[in-house]
Chain A
């Protein structure tokens, strides 16, 4: 028999991940037009832990909360201006990224190597959405957009992916979905 707790749990965990993504967004290092944030690590982790559907719902709620005006985006910002601004592509790219991460992780059996591959694919999706948006927003050349919006973050992303794989391994047994 399915208890009420079993139906509440996914909703509560989804909210928890929205909060974690927000906390991650506050830990910001502004190095140029696009800051280094921990937010994307929690976005990818949401895909791993919650799965594709709930992970996507989690990111959608996060974007909705930011759109409504609560200061949840990088550096405590919010609003439609931020979502349509130069870094809006990265924010909107989180939606397909978490979906891809969740689907790949599930397909690859939720193993650490599979998780790393899934998160790497998720990161590629984030850049695929963010870099062209940045290029258009600043009327940059492709080279400049890639060097301002992708290259400085690759090393950090590798560290974040490794950390997220460790966290996923430790957290999964606690999450009863």
Chain B
């Protein structure tokens, strides 16, 4: 049996980047509780299109919770109220009939709104470009066991590498800081031998780029790790701090 609910939605509508936006009210009727949050917005958009109105713009891609493209702030919570899920994996069974749901885009100076709920997260790409890579000569793949890596170290690196770059950490941070994202990216490379040669240069360059893009400063509020759809821990921020302090004071890089 299909259970359906009716919702009142207040969704942020904004024509363009510079335009003034506002919350607009929509009514979603007969929403199956098996739908995802994005499918619910799809049904509203279908109706808006039939009515000849502009559909709500929102980011999405894989809808499997792994690409990092989707995301909006639902009732003040990035990716909605469920722990460890992306917006596309948030199902309507977590809402009750008659609920009023407020949907807003990520809010940060570094993430300008493109339209409605879609924000420009290229600031995160710029942080990666500043140092989120390793430099190796390409060629035949080396034998996997040439460089031994303890299993728990590999696991820690993988936990950090689970970051999908969705920006929920920035959206949830009271200071709009990107430290969990940058911490995860720096950690996953710094933990592995392949990342060590460039560790100092990477930490300095990525933090400097992050600061220049207008993100806020981390004050250890811990909202990011609570909201992260991949549940990335702030121990990665501590590792970023260690890597940066080490690079700033003890490496020979000026």
Do these two chains really belong together in a complex? no
Interface of B toward A, CB cutoff 8 Å: none
Interface of A toward B, CB cutoff 8 Å: none
